[in-house]
Structures are given as C-alpha cells and as structure tokens.
Amino acid sequence: MPRDEVARDTIAAIATPAGRGGIGVVRVSGSTVARIARALLGRLPGPRHAEVARFADAHGEPIDEGLALYFPAPASYTGEDVLELHGHGGPVIMGALLAACLDAGARLAEPGEFTRRAFLEGKLDLAQAEAVADLIDAASREAARSALRSLSGEFSAAIEALQRNLVELRALTEAQLDFPEEELDDVHRHDTAERLQAVRAALDQVLARSRQGSLLRSGVHAVLVGPPNVGKSSMLNRLAGEERAIVTPLPGTTRDALREPIHIDGVPLVLVDTAGLRASGDEIERLGMARTHQELGRADIVIVVHEAASPERLAQPLPPEAARIDVYNKIDLHPDFRAPAGALAVSAKTGQGLAELRRAMLRAAGWSATGESVFLARERHLRALASASAHLARAADQQASWELFAEELRLAHNALAAITGEFTSDDLLGEIFSRFCIGK
C-alpha cells in the first residue's frame, strides 16, 4: 500500500557520475514509463530482462545502442514502473538520452527522488534510505560495511525490537490505567520495573553501537600541537604514510595549519598539523599560531607533542572537551628517556611507539574494538536514541504515577519511531533527501 496516494509524475535522471565511462545509465521511474519506453525503443522490453536495444530521439534519430531494462511496479527500486537505459558513458550521449526521456514526458528528478519514492512506497524505511546515501558516501571499507548492514535492515530491526518491547510494556501500563481504583499490585509493579530495566539496557546497547558507528561517518579531528621543532609535522607525515608536511631543522617551519585525512583501522580521522607555539616577533608565524588556536577550538583530540630531552610545558590552555594525548618525540635520540605515566614515548623518525599512538587515538575517539558490529548512525539517530533513553530514565523515576509513567513510555516510543520514519514531516524528508546525489 503506497504511503501517500498522490499520483506521481515520471522522473528521469542520469544515474552514473558525470564524465566519460564504459557505460552510463539513465533511469526513469513513474506511471508513464511504458509510454516513454515505446517512444525511445519502439517497444516495451520484457519485465526484468536485459534487452539489447537502439535508443532513438523523438524524431526517430538514433542516439545510442545499449541495454534496456524494464522493472514493472511494484518489483522495482522505487516500487513504481522503472526503466533503465544502459548506454555508452559519454556526456553527449547521456545528455541526449536524458533529453529524449524528457521530450517523451518525464521531468528531471531531484536529488534522492528515486530513493524518496522507494521510501514513500514502503520499499525502504527511513534509516535504510539514509543508508543508501551513506553507502555511496562511505569513506572506508568499515563505513561501507556498516552502511550495508543498515541498508539490509539490521539497524532498523534493532530499533523495531526496542519498539516491540516498549509496546508490550505500554500495554501492561495502559491496562493498569484502565483500573485506577484497583489496588496497585506489587507483582505487576515489579514486573513493569523489570521490563523497563530490560528495555533500557537494550536501548543503551544500541546507543553505544550507534555512537561507535557514528565515528565512521564524522571524521574525528585530531590536532597536533606543541612548541616549534618538536616533530609535529614529522608525526603527521608518519601517521599519513606520506611526506605531506614540510619538515626542516628550523623552528617555526610550519606556518599554516595542514589537514590530512587518515584512517586507523577503518576509522576516518582528520589529522591537523599546526604552527609551533612560542613567543615570536615574526608576523607570519604569529598568524600561523592564531590558526593553531582556531584549530584547537575544533579539536576532538589534542595530541600534545613534546621533545623527549627537553620537555617544555605548553602554556597554551587546551579545550576542556577534547581528549588529550601527550607524546614525547625523538626517543631515538634519548633511548633512556622514560615518558611520564599516561604519556607515550615515540619517534617519528624510526616509527617507534606509533602503533601505541594510533591505538591511543582510536581510544580517545571513543572507538573500542569490541568485535561487535556497529551501526553507522547519523546525528539524527543519535539524538532520537538519546531522547528515548532520557524518557525511559524519567519513566523509571515515575513509578508512583502510572499516568506519568505511561506518558514517558509513549514519548520514548515516538522518539524511536522517528528513526525508521513512521511519522516524519515533509521538511525532514526534504532535508534528508536533498543531500543525496541526482539519480539515486
């Protein structure tokens, strides 16, 4: 059953990236797909069979030869009639094919409109639809794996399991509300408290797995700071595995902040090298230090680099919300140096201690290699889960009043329902799908 009954027009878009490629695909979806197929191909291809066809424009002028695929509703990506034309992947041919579809009555699809229709037709829930974009945007294999799990419904299933438990609990509670004059039954009260506890524990687990997974999307900012010449740029080059930053024996080499995306065990981080902090009369160096302060404001992790032999204290106050890792560099020069408790001794030159540093960075980012699969949650999901969790915590404090208890359960339930998109505003849908690419 379609989720909204508005008759939808037919949309078309080039589904493959712009530029030249072996093949390019134009995708068409909607109620007039059969007519468009006949206009371009002279016939309607058999359902779900790849057929070789000649594509022609409105004047019968050939455009290309390729494969045509027809997916009649409802067994298609969008749930509507869908036609895919696989031609040669050149911008002129793709443009002409798309124009021919538009001439035959389709209109240009908006970003994410195919997936939005799939959602409206009930083919995907909202979390799955978001996973489509996350899979396309995945910056690492780990992120792609998590997105694929969400797409196949693993995340939604976890949310639905929580909802089912909440529904049972609400049914129990509502029954109690219907007989307010009856004496409060201790057994019932105990049972309710226990079930609530179980739902809260399960929710906390989903939240923890989602918080972990959200790290795979966001890219944690790790900023290298310290006095000049301690080896910050050398460290960045080591961690990036490439000579990105200029390294010289002269203090004050780095002027501008340099950002370098890296992965540690599939977790994306943005590593930022900064200008060394010291009192300086040099105008450029002072501007560089101003940038360092800016970068510190954005840091999730601050890696404070010291030189093993002459550990200087950093006068700079650090942002309190960022995790801090202290490293003492150049231990190859000072093999007897012992780092203070909690700090790491490393050498950017030999690579000693860098495995520990990478592990410390992952830990500071909130990543724990539990081996349990994580959910590639979005900020929206985390907010909803946190809100559900807060309502359940309040419910736990409300057991003297069944009305308030029931109300908190209802609010927790609604928060969870927002994740899979049971009740969603057009505004939210617009915001989510507008960030998709065209043709998806």
Ligand X SMILES: Nc1nc2c(ncn2[C@@H]2O[C@H](COP(=O)(O)OP(=O)(O)OP(=O)(O)O)[C@@H](O)[C@H]2O)c(=O)[nH]1
**Binding residues for Mg ion (CB under 5 A):** 232-233, 253-254
- Residue 405 parent element (H or E): helix 402-420
CA–centroid distance for 46 within its chain: 38
**CB contact set of 341 (below 8 Å; sequence gap of 6+):** none
Distance CA 188, CA 176 (A): 9
Strand extents, DSSP E, 17-166: 21-29, 51-56, 62-71, 82-89, 107-108
Distance CA 246, CA 234 (A): 8
Q: Does residue 292 interact with ligand X by CB under 6 A?
A: no
Alpha-carbon distances, residue 182 vs 186, 379, 402, 406, 409 (angstroms): 12, 44, 12, 17, 22
Q: Indicate the residue among 78 and 253 with the shorter CB distance to Mg ion.
A: 253
Tell how strand 301-307 and strand 323-329 pair up. parallel
Q: Does residue 330 interact with ligand X by CB under 6 A?
A: yes
- Provide the sign of the torsion angle of the four alpha carbons 154, 160, 164, 165, taken in this order: positive
Exposed / middle / buried, residue 372 (Cβ in 10 Å: 0-12, 13-18, 19+):
exposed
Among 89, 112, 276, 439, binds ligand X (CB under 6 A): 276
Q: Which pair of tokens denotes residue 109?
A: 């699809």
Among 10, 150, 254, 292, binds ligand X (CB under 6 A): 254
List, as own/partner pairs, every contact residues 429-433 make where C-beta atoms lie below 8 angstroms and the sequence separation is at least 24, other chains included.
429/116, 429/119, 429/126, 432/112, 432/126, 432/129, 432/130, 432/380, 433/110, 433/111, 433/112, 433/113, 433/115, 433/116, 433/129
Q: How far is the CB of 265 from ligand X (least distance, A)?
A: 23
Among 230, 271, 357, 360, binds ligand X (CB under 6 A): 230
Tell me if 50 sits within 8 A of 67, measured CB to CB: yes
- Which of Mg ion, ligand X, none does residue 292 bind (CB under 5 to 8 Å by kind)? none
Among 112, 231, 421, 439, binds ligand X (CB under 6 A): 231
Site pattern 96..125 for ligand X (x: CB under 6 A): ------------------------------
Site residues for ligand X, 383-422, by CB under 6 A, read none
Alpha-carbon distances, residue 327 vs 107, 321, 361 (angstroms): 58, 19, 11
- Which of ligand X, Mg ion, none does residue 249 bind (CB under 5 to 8 Å by kind)? ligand X
Q: Indicate the residue among 252 and 366 with the shorter CB distance to ligand X.
A: 252
Q: How far is the CB of 224 from ligand X (least distance, A)?
A: 8
Q: Indicate the residue among 241 and 371 with the shorter CB distance to ligand X.
A: 241
Q: Does residue 228 interact with ligand X by CB under 6 A?
A: yes
Which listed range, 25-33, 293-301, 335-343, 344-352, lies at the site for ligand X (CB under 6 A)?
Answer: 344-352
Q: How far is the CB of 219 from ligand X (least distance, A)?
A: 22
- Which of ligand X, Mg ion, none does residue 311 bind (CB under 5 to 8 Å by kind)? none
Q: Does residue 306 interact with ligand X by CB under 6 A?
A: no
When CB distances to ligand X are compared, the closest residue is 276
Q: Indicate the residue among 243 and 265 with the shorter CB distance to ligand X.
A: 243
Residue 349 has what DSSP assignment?
A: T
Among 153, 252, 266, 311, binds ligand X (CB under 6 A): 252
SS3 call for 397: helix
- Which of Mg ion, ligand X, none does residue 333 bind (CB under 5 to 8 Å by kind)? ligand X
Among 128, 229, 292, 389, binds ligand X (CB under 6 A): 229
Among 150, 234, 389, 420, binds ligand X (CB under 6 A): 234
Distance CA 384, CA 378 (A): 10
Site residues, ligand X (CB under 6 A): 228-234, 247-249, 251-254, 276, 329-330, 332-333, 347-349
